[in-house]
Structure 1
Amino acid sequence: MTDRATADGWRTGWRHRDWLNPPLQVVRDQDDLLVTAAEGSDFWRTTSYGFIHDTGHTLLGDFPDGTAAEVRFVADFSAQFDQAGLLIRAEEEQWIKAGVELSDGVLQLGAVVTRGVSDWSVAPVPEWSGQEVVVRASRDGDAVTVRARSGDEPWRLVRVAPLPPGLLRVGLMCCAPTRAGLVVRFTDLRLVEADDSLHP
């Protein structure tokens, strides 16, 4: 896999990207971005819950084939379904969100893949609570490979999922489905070279 040091300058200028569903507040703190999510914000389509939510906050830019997007943020969550990570979006019914969220009192690493309807997969990472987390999504043709880690630990494979070829957009994402007052500290956002292969 390619090291994040090959960044092309896409990181914390935060320019040349547009908000889908602007958050309540965005504050620059030196190179960090503090994003305040609206209560009830979320991305989900139908499965199990029966509702469609397309109200989460995401700062999107182009996602060329052969690149990877990385976002870093502090996983400081306290309410059910507080979440942050990456969103990769083709259109309203085709997208992937990947990151960490608090679910039933435990911090979880996971992804939601949506092609008309959403699915959801998670794995517990309680040791990441309060830590800086990095989520990376590599685009290779019709496949998106998501990995994540905290600190200097090895990358964990989160998901390999299909998305249609053509125009995709990607960017940081946060949602607060159940409460007001969630502020997420994003510390980095950049494009790097896509991972060399699916397996190390």
Structure 2
Amino acid sequence: MQKIKMDKSIFNDFYWLNKPEEYYFENALVIETEPETDFWQRTHYGFRNDNGHALLTDLEGDFSFAAKFKFEPQNKYDQCGIMLRLDSENWIKISTEYENQEISRLGSVVTNYGYSDWATEDISSEINAVWYRISKRGKDFLIENSFDGRKWLQMRIAHLHQDFEEIKIGVYACSPREDSFKAIIEEMIIDENHWEQE
């Protein structure tokens, strides 16, 4: 198990996709999102956005990647979570997306060949801290969440169709509307695969 230090040394192994103007370290990585940033491809809405902020590293083989987030959403669709990515048209994101003061949407987006889907479950907007974990077995992925970092709940099993040997994995945050918010990443862990073989 590799616990990632949440300080400037993180850049020895991780790099930015769409670097935010404002980020800093306070025993955690704090990202201040820029307005009108998002990750989405085509489906339903028709638009294509690939300008959200993501801090990524490259991994090979099978693994589990987990991260703990705290967030202070301000506007509809504010979100932060895990990003797993081949390129702009093939990726997976896991997050809680803010809807209003009562309801947010815990969910995941899987994008294959430039078309995104969105699987969600409504949760209370009073929840402002969540763990996410994604476990890789070949081209298949187990997506989970936890509210305490110990008990994990399956959200979905997904597949990426594009062939690959190496994949990018890390954390992301974005604000699709005209404002920003603070996403706080307290922990990141790279581990051996936690997805048990049936």
- Identity fraction in percent: 26
Structure 1's 196 and 54: CA in aligned 2 closer, same or farther, altered over 3 A?
A: closer
Give the length in aligned residue pairs: 191
Unpaired segments of 5 or more residues in structure 2?
none
| CA distance in 1 between partners of 2:197 and 2:155 (Å) | 12
**Residue pair 1:96, 1:111 contacting (<8 A) in 2 also:** yes
- Report the counterpart of residue 85 of structure 2 in structure 1: 89
Name the aligned partner's letter for residue 175 of structure 2. A
TM-score, normalised via structure 1 length: 0.88
- Counterpart of 2:24 in structure 1 is 27
* Displacement after TM superposition at 1:179 (Å): 3.0
Structure 2 partner of 1:179:
178
Counterpart among 1, 8, 33 of residue 2 in structure 2: 8
Q: Does the residue aligned with 1:14 lie in a helix, a strand or coil?
A: helix
* More moved, 33-42 vs 144-153: 144-153
Does the alignment pair 1:54 with 2:54?
Answer: no
* Matched-pair contact (CA < 8 Å) for 1:33–1:185: yes
On the 8 A contact 1:45/1:117 being kept in 2, the answer is yes
TM, length-normalised to structure 2? 0.89
Instruction: Confirm or deny: 8 A CA contact 1:99 1:109 kept in the other structure.
Output: yes
Structure 1 runs of 4+ with >4 Å offset: none
CA contact (8 A) 2:107 2:119 kept: yes
What does the per-residue CA deviation read over 1:37-57, in whole Å, with 9 as the maximum and x for residues that have no partner? 110000000111111000011
Where does residue 65 of structure 1 map in the other structure?
A: 61
| Greater mean alpha carbon deviation, residues 88-97 or residues 71-80 | 71-80
Verify the 8 A CA contact 1:111 1:121 in the aligned structure 2: yes
Q: Deviations over 1:15-43 (max 9, x none)?
A: 311100001211111x2011011100000
The CA deviation string for residues 39-89 of structure 1, in whole angstroms up to 9 with x for no partner, is 000000011111100001100101332211111111332310010100000
What do the CA deviations read for 1:86-124 (whole angstroms, capped 9, x no partner)?
A: 000011110001111112551111001101211101101
Measured after TM superposition, the shift of residue 156 of structure 1 is: 1.3
What is aligned with 2:123?
125
Counterpart contact for 2:146–2:152, Cα < 8 Å? yes
User: Is residue 2:106 matched to residue 1:109?
Assistant: yes
Judged with a 3 Å threshold, the aligned counterparts in structure 2 of structure 1 residues 82 and 198 are, in CA distance, closer, same or farther, namely: farther
Tell me if structure 2 keeps the 8 A contact 1:75–1:129.
no
Greater mean alpha carbon deviation, residues 49-58 or residues 186-195: 186-195
Structure 1 regions of 5+ residues with no counterpart? 1-6
Separation in 2, partners of 1:10, 1:113: 25
RMSD (Å), alpha carbons: 1.8
Deviation at residue 10 of structure 1 after TM alignment: 3.3
Distance 1:41 1:74 in 2: 19
